Amino acid sequence: MTDLEVPYRKVYIESRHRTSGTNSDFTFDLPVTVTYGKNVCAIVQDFSCSASWYSIEADVNDRLYFLERYKTTAGGLILSTLHVVILDEGAYDGHTLAVEIAAKMQAASSQDAISNFQFTAVFVPAKNNILITLTAALVLTHQATFELIADDSLRSMDYWLSSQISGLLTSLPVWSTLDPKSVNNVLGLDSGTLNGDVAFANGRLIATTDLSSSVSTGHVDVRQHNTLLLHSSSFQYNSLGSLGVMTILRRIPVAVALGDVIHNQHSGNPHDNVEVSGMTLQRLHFKLLDARNRNINLRGGNVSFTLVFFEKPL
């Protein structure tokens, strides 16, 4: 390997010195134009950034969907109302998240003069989940139950509702099946289908499913992200991500709490590299994304990493 093939063996990247963009989606101009030889690859030797994002981010994962079921008379029809509550943006632990969920669910239900459910929510450390309980229905004396709606139900229900009975649900929320913006990834409710027959009458959901007066979430992970993915469109690639993306430079596990600093070193696997053979580099582009290809909001925090260039192993 000659200096002609690898004129610069290390390139240090700091998002604070970016040419344009944000700390998690930026262009970085090298001070010189560099051309590498025909048998050269690169690795991200080390990576660091602060876990400075929030547990709940506005318009990203701040929505909780829940279904209330009730009867207005002892032998009457079971009616249901679907609520969407917006949780306040911020960093939470299990206890403060439980308080926020109970307050917002009760506020949403109190706007319905028919049901007016009362809720409590408690974080259970031994199970690392949140137990939400319906304690009273102030108006009704008959059956009163509720259920949280998981992401797989949200992704299927929106298409069915809007395409089959458009115009009958003006009093009910509308959401995107592609991105419900739900808090379910934090609550361990990415999956979990609401089973049973579902129909509509007078703008209200009628379900035959037996729901519950007490619901436990899944595993609560207030970090929101357990994996970060460093992407770049500036190199040649032989990687394939779970959503079909082919620009992943590095996978970074988040093994720290919110507010701590992430430090990650290269795996040492000689095949964990990207091609730069014959490439001329000067303007580079990088993105820090989550597992769903969404930009990480570092809230002023910076990204730092080292690119190391070397002759490809035999």
Mean pLDDT by 10 residues, the chain (314 residues): 76 97 96 92 95 96 86 66 91 98 92 76 96 76 74 66 36 73 92 43 41 81 95 88 89 94 93 92 96 93 96 77
pLDDT at 4: 62
pLDDT at 305: 98
Burial label for 239, CB within 10 Å (0-12, 13-18, 19+), is: middle
Spell out the domains of the chain, with CATH numbers in brackets.
Answer: 10-53+225-311 (2.60.120.1100), 63-216 (no CATH)
Q: Which of 267, 282, 307, 253 is nearest to 49 (CA)?
A: 253
If you compute the radius of gyration of the chain from its CA atoms, what whole number of angstroms results?
25
What token pair was written down for 157?
A: 């229900």
Contact 265, 45 (CB under 8 A): yes
pLDDT at 223: 94
pLDDT at 21: 97
pTM of the entire predicted model:
0.82
Q: Which of 225, 233, 267 is nearest to 249 (CA)?
A: 233
Burial label for 288, CB within 10 Å (0-12, 13-18, 19+), is: buried
Q: How far apart are CA 110 and CA 116, in angstroms?
A: 4
Map residue 195 onto helix, strand or coil.
coil
pLDDT at 193: 39
pLDDT at 93: 97
- Sequence-distant (6+) residues with CB within 8 A of 19 are 26, 27, 28, 29, 283
pLDDT at 157: 59
Q: What does DSSP say about strands 10-14 and 20-22: parallel, antiparallel, or unpaired?
A: unpaired
Contact 199, 228 (CB under 8 A): no
